[in-house]
């Protein structure tokens, strides 16, 4: 395994939610598992007036709520906290970045280490440009260090609002950092189960020969959530589920399940294959948008015996909102492997269940021996890759039921992470932060796959502005989404794998 080099991680927006819920728990787990080198420092950069001690206390409290290592041992934490600092700063004042430069320089000098710096942008996107300008103005990039260290930048989602804004943001970042220094996070790529898609497909001789349109009837990719928008309505109402889930997580799942085997399992080869795949997704005409896309917004309903509000009634959501909280799409990949195979994608909030899965359905038998003896409708074979919860893979096939009578019933052969490996997979952020520090971009989006995904999604969003919004709300919370989404798949003689 690659070793983390002595380095400094600067977290912009360190007083915020993501820093406390995901970034610090991941850093603490990495530290506890012995991944940190001696000289590894974390510095929070945000406007809130805190000092090092108060900042460390807020981290201790949030680790006890959010870290997989909880409860946190106070002595252990005291040792960890020696690596953590805080700079009360302003994003749009150059003097704050000069102070940051002073901090980096003094640590490098004191510990005789290169200026290896990871900048983590964990602020709202509206602040990104100020931060990039500030870093540039204070000459805190590797090109200025002239070989005395690396600089890397981590960008959270949303990366832009549409194709044009993503392209502009990309251009801005590229004016200061090189592509090999830019880490665009899609936390789905850090999930063990998502990485396992490639192992499953390309490390087993039995699956690849049937992974194509000769054998596969259709593929469903579902990310269903029972939670609502919570406290993130300010962001969500501008994004909708199409930007929040489809442009990033769902497109990454689609890519991994459908790409060609890369020559090497490394960042460049893998991302080249993803680009080829996304370029082969058939563009949506206006007619396709009408036929093959469904939008939904949740109404009041019952989830887990609790009455929940409609989306329009959630705090901070404008009552006249036309933002979708559910999307289903049917798309085609125009290449040799997938010609004619429909991919059905759906994602939504406040649904009956919480699960993310990829369901691969195989074609029916060309001829059934058992039909002759009255056994009709043998279920299609399927492979269900469950990303979460109950991470694992199930292969569904027909087996003879015990007894003298000939009958065939579907059965599951199941691989489950917990029972096979006796441990739960680490949080995606642990893996991704580790990869940034060791400099591995394999699990991060590259500018071109990100932009192609935006191109597709922007064409749908633009199409929707022409076709007009449906009457919202159009599905009850606690159900599986709008009726039109059922119709989208039922009209092809198929059903969603609920």
Q: Which residues bind ligand NDP (CB under 6 A)?
A: 13, 15-19, 46-48, 122-127, 156-158, 235
Q: What are the residues whose beta carbons fall under 8 Å from the beta carbon of 206, sequence distance 6 or more?
A: none
In angstroms, the CA 202 to CA 296 distance is 36
DSSP bridge partners of 351: 479
Binding partner selected for residue 18 from ligand NDP, ligand BG6, none, CB under the kind-specific 5 to 8 Å limit: ligand NDP
Please report the sign of the dihedral spanned by the C-alpha atoms of residue 295, residue 300, residue 302, residue 304: positive
249 is catalytic: yes
Provide the 8-state DSSP code for 281.
Answer: B
Give yes or no for residue 244 binding ligand BG6 (CB under 6 A): yes
What mask of x and - would describe binding to ligand BG6 in positions 183 to 222, judged by CB under 6 A? ----------------------------------------
Nearer to ligand BG6, 140 or 242 (CB): 242
Nearer to ligand NDP, 234 or 410 (CB): 234
In angstroms, the CA 207 to CA 215 distance is 11
CB of 109 vs ligand BG6, minimal distance in Å: 39
In this structure, the number of other CB atoms found within 10 A of the CB of residue 294 comes to 24
Give yes or no for residue 356 binding ligand BG6 (CB under 6 A): yes
Q: Note whether 452 and 278 are within 8 A (CB).
A: yes
Binding partner selected for residue 481 from ligand NDP, ligand BG6, none, CB under the kind-specific 5 to 8 Å limit: none
Give yes or no for residue 156 binding ligand BG6 (CB under 6 A): no
Catalytic residue among 20, 83, 249, 354: 249
Give yes or no for residue 293 binding ligand BG6 (CB under 6 A): no
Binding partner selected for residue 225 from ligand NDP, ligand BG6, none, CB under the kind-specific 5 to 8 Å limit: ligand BG6
CB of 371 vs ligand NDP, minimal distance in Å: 51
DSSP 67-101: -TTPSPPHHHHHHHHTTEEEEE--TT-HHHHHHHH
In angstroms, the CA 455 to CA 283 distance is 9
Binding partner selected for residue 126 from ligand BG6, ligand NDP, none, CB under the kind-specific 5 to 8 Å limit: ligand NDP
What's the number of CA atoms in the CB half-sphere (13 Å) around residue 440? 18
- Tokens encoding 218: 């259709």
Of 185, 307, 297, residue with least CA distance to 248: 185
Residue 406 phi/psi, 5-degree rounding, is -85, 115
What mask of x and - would describe binding to ligand BG6 in positions 300 to 339, judged by CB under 6 A? ----------------------------------------
DSSP bridge partners of 117: 8, 151
Binding partner selected for residue 263 from ligand NDP, ligand BG6, none, CB under the kind-specific 5 to 8 Å limit: none
In this structure, the number of other CB atoms found within 10 A of the CB of residue 71 comes to 8
Indicate the angle between helix axes 192-202 and 251-258, nearest 10 degrees.
20
Binding partner selected for residue 47 from ligand BG6, ligand NDP, none, CB under the kind-specific 5 to 8 Å limit: ligand NDP
Provide the 8-state DSSP code for 333.
Answer: B
In angstroms, the CA 252 to CA 278 distance is 9
CB of 20 vs ligand NDP, minimal distance in Å: 8
**Options 156, 181, 192, 225; binder of ligand BG6; rule CB under 6 A:** 225
Nearer to ligand BG6, 101 or 478 (CB): 478
CB of 411 vs ligand NDP, minimal distance in Å: 38
CB of 90 vs ligand BG6, minimal distance in Å: 27
Nearer to ligand BG6, 288 or 324 (CB): 324
Binding partner selected for residue 356 from ligand BG6, ligand NDP, none, CB under the kind-specific 5 to 8 Å limit: ligand BG6
In this structure, the number of other CB atoms found within 10 A of the CB of residue 80 comes to 22
Q: Note whether 436 and 118 are within 8 A (CB).
A: yes
Nearer to ligand BG6, 263 or 389 (CB): 389
Q: Note whether 26 and 429 are within 8 A (CB).
A: yes
In this structure, the number of other CB atoms found within 10 A of the CB of residue 453 comes to 26
Nearer to ligand NDP, 123 or 142 (CB): 123
Give yes or no for residue 288 binding ligand BG6 (CB under 6 A): no
Residues that bind ligand BG6 (CB under 6 A): 157, 225, 244, 356
What residues are labeled active site?
249
């Amino acid at each position: 395994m690659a070793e983390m080099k002595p380095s400094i991680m600067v977290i912009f927006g360190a007083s915020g939610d993501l820093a406390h819920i995901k970034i610090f728990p991941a850093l603490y787990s990495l530290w506890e598992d012995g991944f940190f080198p001696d000289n590894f420092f974390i510095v929070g950069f945000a406007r809130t007036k805190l000092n090092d001690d108060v900042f460390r206390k807020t981290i201790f409290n949030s680790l006890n709520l959010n870290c997989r290592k909880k409860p946190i041992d106070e002595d252990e934490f005291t040792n960890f906290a020696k690596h953590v600092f805080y700079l009360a700063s302003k994003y749009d004042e150059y003097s704050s970045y000069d102070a940051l430069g002073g901090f980096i320089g003094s640590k490098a000098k004191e510990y005789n280490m290169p200026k290896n710096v990871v900048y983590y942008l964990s602020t709202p996107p509206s602040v990104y440009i100020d931060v990039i300008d500030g870093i540039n103005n204070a000459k805190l990039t590797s090109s200025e260090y002239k070989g005395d260290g690396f600089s890397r930048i981590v960008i959270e989602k949303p990366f832009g609002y549409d194709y044009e804004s993503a392209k502009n943001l990309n251009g801005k970042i590229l004016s200061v950092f090189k592509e090999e220094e830019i880490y665009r996070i899609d936390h789905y790529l850090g999930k063990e189960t998502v990485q396992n898609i490639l192992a499953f497909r390309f490390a087993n001789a039995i699956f690849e020969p049937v992974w194509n349109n000769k054998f596969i009837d259709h593929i469903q990719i579902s990310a269903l959530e029972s939670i609502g928008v919570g406290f993130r309505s300010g962001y969500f109402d501008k994004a909708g589920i199409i930007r929040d889930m489809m442009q990033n997580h769902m497109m990454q799942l689609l890519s991994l399940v459908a790409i060609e085997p890369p020559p090497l399992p490394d960042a460049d080869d893998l991302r080249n294959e993803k680009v080829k795949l996304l370029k082969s997704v058939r563009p949506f005409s206006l007619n396709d948008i009408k036929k093959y896309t469904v939008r939904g917004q949740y109404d009041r309903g019952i989830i887990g015996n609790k009455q929940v509000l409609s989306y329009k009634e959630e705090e901070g959501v404008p009552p006249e909102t036309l933002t979708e909280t559910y999307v289903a799409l049917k798309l085609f990949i125009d290449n040799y492997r997938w010609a004619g195979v429909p991919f059905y994608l759906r994602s939504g909030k406040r649904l009956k269940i919480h699960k993310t899965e990829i369901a691969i359905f195989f074609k029916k038998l060309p001829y059934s021996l058992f039909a002759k003896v009255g056994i009709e409708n043998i279920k299609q074979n399927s492979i269900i890759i469950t990303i979460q919860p109950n991470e694992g893979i199930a292969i569904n096939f027909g087996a003879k039921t015990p007894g003298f009578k000939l009958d065939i019933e579907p059965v599951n052969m199941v691989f489950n992470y917990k029972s096979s490996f006796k441990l739960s997979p680490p949080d995606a952020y642990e893996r991704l932060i580790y990869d940034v520090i060791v400099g591995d971009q394999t699990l991060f989006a590259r500018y071109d796959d990100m932009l192609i995904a935006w191109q597709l999604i922007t064409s749908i969003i633009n199409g929707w502005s022409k076709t007009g919004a449906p009457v919202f709300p159009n599905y009850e919370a606690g159900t599986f989404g709008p009726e039109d989404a059922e119709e989208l798949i039922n009209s092809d003689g198929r059903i969603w794998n609920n």
